[in-house]
Amino acid sequence: MPLYVVATPIGNIEDLSPRALQTLKDSQLILAEDTRKIRDLVAVYGLANQIERKSQRCDSRAEQQLCKDPKFIEQLKSNIQIALVSDAGSPAISDPGASIVALAYREGVQVIPVPGPSAVTTALSISGFSDTQFIFAGYFPRTSNERCKIIQQYKTAKSSIVFYETAQRIDDSLKELCELWGAERQALLARELTKQYESLYRGTLPEIKQQLVEGVSECKGEMVLVLEGVKGAKGVKGVKEWGSESAIQSLGATLYPDANQEQLSEEDKFMLKLLLEHLPSKTGAAIAAKITSKKRKLFYEQAIKITQSKKES
Ligand code: SAM
């Protein structure tokens, strides 16, 4: 039997997918980070007792123990269906589960994901920042020294950076981020996602700090901080980001695979005309040259003709 890795809601109980519920019902054993949490989760579906009876604790310590004495592997091999869940969200994302999954692979057991919510993807999807790449940095470290090291490490990242943070430390983290990355960095702080008191704070780091002070008398709850990457910073090697020079050139190669390098086509001229409606001749010509990989001089000469004929008409 395969090992099912099942995501559960991060707040709103209705985010449990029908397939996740069915998998929990069908499993004979549930490896749960906390067996009480899974009972609460399925109480709403009238399955609490049924699920509780078959769940076994699998927090970080229990996970190590299970991996040392892996009875569950024998059970899987003798056709017992097992589901792995964490307290909330996706197992093994800042939660126990990775060693269980790794052991299953080593033992030749099939692993089947039953995907669903995760705080990292939920926050990222509503950040409005670049959608091409992101870095998930997990929890901010506890000590200021370690936090500052991490903050420095990601300072010039081009991608969005996602951190999990606690209400107790968010104030210090925002302060340190502001000191080390400057007050202009845009961010989204997502608190209590999908829960009753869900609140989103978006803006520069000082603005978020201010919104937090104004919004809640006492900062509580679970939170995710998404920071926008640095525009124009060096991207990660080998990955094309939309808007980067290499992406523009590869777009050009796709649109103009057999372009004649020595002269402008009607499409080139039309594109340049559109660019010149918003840009000065030099910039428009430079962008068009990048897109088509043709000489900038050709476009610049054409740009002069276009502006000339505009003046005359
Ligand atoms: N496995 C989970 C996942 O897939 O997101 C993460 C578990 S980790 C132990 C818990 C952390 O995730 C919290 O401290 C918080 O940073 C973040 N988190 C989880 N649920 C959240 C929610 N509803 N709103 C905001 N952040 C949440």
Domain range list for the chain:
3-116, 120-227, 239-312
Return the pLDDT at 289: 87
SS3 203: strand
* Domain 3-116 -> CATH class: alpha beta
Let me know if 170 is exposed, middle or buried by CB neighbors in 10 A (0-12, 13-18, 19+): buried
CATH number of 120-227: 3.30.950.10
Instruction: Give the amino acid at 280.
Output: P
> In this model, does residue 103 exceed pLDDT 50?
yes
For the stretch 152-183, pLDDT in tens is 999 999 999 999 999 999 999 999 999 999 99
Q: Which residue from 153, 108, 149, 147 is spatially nearest to 3, judged by alpha carbons?
A: 108
The angle, 0 to 180 degrees and rounded to 10, between the axes of the packed helices 98-106 and 60-68 is 20
> In this model, does residue 257 exceed pLDDT 70?
no
Q: Please, which pLDDT band fits residue 234 given cuts at 50, 70 and 90?
A: low
Return the pLDDT at 236: 40
Residue 89 and residue 37 in contact, taking contact as beta carbons nearer than 8 Å:
no
Q: Which pTM does this prediction carry?
A: 0.75
Neighbours of 181 (CB within 10 A): 18
> In this model, does residue 135 exceed pLDDT 80?
yes
**Ligand 1 centroid from CA 49, angstroms:** 26
Mean pLDDT of the chain: 88
Task: Give the residues surrounding ligand 1 with Cβ less than 6 Å away.
Answer: 10-11, 86, 88-90, 93-95, 118-120, 164-166, 190, 192-195, 222-224
**Ligand 1 centroid from CA 159, angstroms:** 21
> In this model, does residue 246 exceed pLDDT 60?
no
CA torsion through residues 54, 58, 62, 64, sign: positive
**Ligand 1 centroid from CA 138, angstroms:** 10
Whole-angstrom Cα distance, residue 195 to residue 14? Answer: 11
CA atoms in the 13 A half-sphere facing the CB of 42: 24
**In testing the pocket of ligand 1, which one of 8, 37, 84, 94 has its CB within 8 Å of the most ligand atoms?**
94
Closest Cα to atom 19, ligand 1: which residue?
A: 119
Neighbours of 201 (CB within 10 A): 21
For the stretch 7-56, pLDDT in tens is 999 999 999 999 999 999 999 999 999 999 998 888 988 888 888 889 99
Return the pLDDT at 175: 94
